[in-house]
Amino acid sequence: MIIGSFFLLSSCAVKKHKDISYLETATASENETPKLNVFTPRNTAKKLPVLIYVHGGYWNSGNKDIYGFFGRNFAKKDVVTVIPSYTLSPNANYETMTQQIAQVIQWTKDSIANYNGDPDQIFVTGHSAGGHLVALATLDKKYGVESNTVKGIILNDAAGLDMYTYLQNNPPTTKHNYNVTWTKEPATWKDASPMYYLDKDAPPFLIYLGSKTYPSIINSNERFLEALKPFQPTVEPIVLKKKHVSMITQYLWPWNDRFDEIKNFIEQH
C-alpha cells in the first residue's frame, strides 16, 4: 500500500502528453504511424533540459507506452522527457528507423518549447537497439540532424554500435528479421554502424554497460570506445553488475543512482 501510494503521488507530479505525431510524412508501408509521448513536471514555468529516450527490442519489438516509468521519473527530476515509438522490422529497415529518430530530434528542437523544454539543451539516450538508433541518427550527417543540436549521447547497454563486424561473423537470417533490418550487403552493415561516424564534432558521451550483458554488446562497446578515445579520451564506461534487461528496468526506481549521474552529465554539458 505504501509503495502504491508513492507511485500514485509520483504520477500526480508529472503530466503526460500522449500520442503526438512527429513524422513529416507517413509511408505506405507503415501499419501504424508512430507517435511520441512527452513527460513534463507539473507547475513549472522555467525552461528545462530535454532527454529523448528510444527503446530497444532487436529493432523488431517494443513500444513507447511500456516506458512511462522512465519519462515520469526523469520529469520528476525536472527533465522534460520525450519517448517515441518507431516503425519496427520487418515493416522497416534500420535506415527508416534512423530517419524517424532523426525526425523525433527535429520535432523536439522545433516544438519542445511548447512543453517547457529548452531546445538548446537536447540530450538523447537509448537502451539496446535504441542506443544504436540515437547514436546513428546523431552521428551520421546524412540523417540531417544539425551539428550541436544534440548536446550529449547517453548509451545504455547499446547494441549495434559496430554491426559491420558483428554481421560479418553472424550473417543476418530471418531470426529477429535481421535479413530485413540489415539486408545481406556488407557495405550496408558498415553504413549502419555508428562507430564509423565518430569524429571531433561528436557530442559528449556517457556510456553504461552491464557486466552480465550479451557478449556481442560487450565486444561492440569495446570497439566503439576504442574508436571514441582519440576524440574523447576521458570517457570511461560505467560498468554495472547487471544483465541486459536490468539495465533499463533499474529506472523503475526513482532513487536509482543513474538519475543523478545523468542529471550531472546534462548540467555539465
CATH of the domain at 243: 3.40.50.1820
Cell numbers representing residue 88 in the block: 519496427
Q: How many structural domains compose the chain?
A: 1
3-class secondary-structure state, position 184: coil
On whether the CB atoms of residues 105 and 124 are closer than 8 A, the answer is: yes
Note whether residue 178 is domain-resident.
Answer: no
pLDDT at 27: 52
Cell numbers representing residue 203 in the block: 557530442
Note whether residue 192 is domain-resident.
Answer: no
Note whether residue 188 is domain-resident.
Answer: no
CA distance 181 to 120: 33
Q: Give me the tens of pLDDT residue by residue for the chain, a chain 269 residues long.
A: 434 444 444 556 899 999 999 997 655 444 579 999 999 998 777 899 999 999 999 999 999 999 999 999 999 999 999 999 999 999 999 999 999 999 999 999 999 999 999 999 999 999 999 999 999 999 999 999 999 999 999 999 999 999 999 999 999 999 999 999 999 999 999 999 999 999 999 999 999 999 999 999 999 999 999 999 999 999 999 999 999 999 999 999 999 999 999 999 999 99
3-class secondary-structure state, position 250: helix
Beta strands in 7-146 (DSSP E): 14-21, 35-41, 48-54, 80-84, 117-127
pLDDT at 11: 56
> What sign results for the dihedral spanned by CA atoms 164, 199, 125, 221?
positive
Note whether residue 235 is domain-resident.
Answer: yes
On whether the CB atoms of residues 40 and 101 are closer than 8 A, the answer is: no
Note whether residue 23 is domain-resident.
Answer: yes
On whether the CB atoms of residues 67 and 85 are closer than 8 A, the answer is: no
- What is the residue range of 250's domain? 2-159+200-268
pLDDT at 171: 95
Note whether residue 185 is domain-resident.
Answer: no
